[in-house]
Structure 1
C-alpha cells in the first residue's frame, strides 16, 4: 500500500482502506439496527415504502414508485404485502375513480413509530459509552455522512 493509503491519482477522495472501513462499518451498523427492531419480515424496501407513504401520502402507486426510484411493477410487489398486512390502505382517488391512493393505516403508523424507536435506541445506548470528545467528533461527521447519501447531479 502506498504512503497515502492508495488515494486516487489526483489525491482527492478517500483512501481505499478508508472506503472499505466505512463500507464495513455502515453495513454492520445497518444489520445491527435491523436486528434491533425485531421486524425481520418487513424488508428494507417495504419499510422505505411505508415511510414514504407516511411522509408524502396519500399518494398514487406511480408517485410512490417515483419517490422510491423504482418501476411501478416493482412497487406493486412491495406494496401488496403492506396492504395484506394491514400497514397500508388503498382508497379510491377522488380525482380519478380508476386510480387508488395509498395511505398508512393506524397499524402502519404504529409499526413505523415502533421500529424507529427501537432502531434509535441502539445508537443512543451505545453513544453513552463514548467520551465527550468522541461524541463531538461523531456529531461533526454527520453532515459529511449525510452528503454521501445525496445522489450526484
Structure 2
C-alpha cells in the first residue's frame, strides 16, 4: 500500500508501520544529504561539526566529557578535534580545577563557521518551504514536536533477542 492510508496500515497498535518507517528514514536521510550539500564548501566532517556544536552547547568541556556526550572514545575524539584545533575553531585552555586537564571551548572562528553553516542550511529549508501551501506549512510545524520526540529517547544498544525499550 502507498500513500497516507498505507502509512497507517500494518500497525500492531504501537509505532509506525514498516512503510512509514522506510519513508521517514529516506526523507530524513535525503534531506540531511541535501542540507550537507547546501554548506558544501565546508571542510568539516559530520563528526567535527557535531563536536563543534556540542562544545558550543555545553562548553567549556574536558576531552572525556565531550567524548562521552558524543558517544565516542577519547582517542577517536582526539583525531576528530585535531584539525579543529589546528584550524582555530576549537580553543584549549588549562582547567583551573585540574592542572592536568584542558578545557575545550568554541573559538570565535568556530562560532562563525557554525553560524555560516546554519545560515546556509536554513536558507535551503526556507527556499523549499515556499513550495508548500500555508496549510502544509502549518501541518509541518505541527509535526515538529513529534519529530523532536524521536530525538529524546536515549540510545540504548539492543542485544540479540532483547525487546526494544
TM-score by length of 1: 0.90
Secondary structure, aligned partner of 2:13? coil
Q: Tell whether the 8 Å contact from 2:52 to 2:106 is kept in structure 1 after alignment.
A: yes
Match 2:82 to one of 67, 75, 80: 80
Alignment of 1:116 onto 2:127: no
Give me the CA root mean square deviation: 1.8
Ranges of 4+ aligned residues in structure 1 off by more than 3 Å = 3-6
For residues 112 and 44 of structure 1, what CA distance do their matches in structure 2 show? Answer: 12
Shift of 1:149: 1.1
Residue number in structure 1 paired with 2:57: 55
Shift of 1:15: 1.3
Q: Deviations over 1:54-76 (max 9, x none)?
A: 11111110111122122222211
Q: Tell whether the 8 Å contact from 1:87 to 1:106 is kept in structure 2 after alignment.
A: yes
Shift of 1:4: 6.0
Q: Which runs of 5+ in 2 are unaligned?
A: 155-164
For residues 111 and 87 of structure 1, what CA distance do their matches in structure 2 show? Answer: 8
For residues 151 and 11 of structure 1, what CA distance do their matches in structure 2 show? Answer: 19
Q: Deviations over 1:82-116 (max 9, x none)?
A: 11111101111121111111111111110011001
Residue number in structure 1 paired with 2:129: 127
